[in-house]
Amino acid sequence: MSKIYAVISVAAVIALLSCLGGEQQPAGNETNQSQPGGGTTGAATINVAIQDNAFSQTSIALNAGDSVKWTNLDDRIHQVQIISATSSPVLLKSDTWTYKFDTAGTYAFRDAELPYMAGTVTVS
């Protein structure tokens, strides 16, 4: 009888873990979903589509406190790398990743899977 309870317990744990989906929690100023105003009064969010193995915008200008939200519209995976800062999780089709730029400067970004896909974010 105890073996049955052990099997049921293991099945329950597996079911619970599959419901959680292994979602990665954001660290620092990274978010997996944008909030109106990016959580800062007057802040903006710039939307960048990843489609046909290209970024819809490759030269982005914004103010400190604004965010960029990348959305993968391709069937293949992509991963946004902000050089010398951070990387997104691997983005499957329809996945999004938002990064809030708090400090002025110029930030290069690229796709980790296809490094020729590149651009810059200029923060003032």
CATH number for the domain that contains residue 97:
2.60.40.420
94 part of a folded domain: yes
Q: Are 98 and 46 in contact (CB under 8 A)?
A: no
- Residue 99 in domain: yes
Query: Which is it for strands 96-101 and 30-31: parallel, antiparallel or unpaired?
Result: antiparallel
2 located within any domain: no
In angstroms, how far apart are the furthest CA atoms of the chain?
67
Residue 33 lies in a domain: yes
- Quote the pTM value: 0.68
Q: Is residue 12 part of a domain?
A: no
Q: Within a domain: residue 78?
A: yes
pLDDT at 8: 37
Any domain includes 8? no
* Count of the separate structural domains present in the chain: 1
pLDDT in the model for residue 42: 78
| Domain residue limits at 90 | 26-123
pLDDT of residue 33: 36
- Name the pLDDT band for 41 (thresholds 50, 70, 90): low
79 occurs within a structural domain? yes
Kindly tell me if the per-residue pLDDT of 16 is higher than 70: no
- Measured distance CA(28)–CA(21) in Å, rounded: 22
